[in-house]
Amino acid sequence: MKVHESITHERICALVESAMTGLDNPGVCIACGADAEGCEPDARKYRCDACGAMQVYGAEELLLQLHP
């Protein structure tokens, strides 16, 4: 899976932790790197509000997809 250069393992882990300790439902657009709110943990290919691409993934889903 090709992801934007701003998406790092540390960033995704911080988003997952945020979801686990609060009421956030974070996601990230893998095309442009923009943060997205209101994503289900297993979200795949949601529309990005910033760039319009269908490339927003939930933080937990991204963590699973990018795990080596």
pLDDT digits (tens, 9 = 90+) for 21-68: 999 899 999 999 999 999 999 999 999 999 999 999 999 999 999 876
Q: What is the pLDDT of residue 32?
A: 97
Of 68, 61, 65, nearest in space to 15 by CA: 61
Q: What is the pLDDT of residue 18?
A: 93
**Residue extents of the structural domains in the chain:** 9-66
- In angstroms, the CA 18 to CA 53 distance is 24
pTM of the entire predicted model: 0.92
- In angstroms, the CA 65 to CA 56 distance is 13
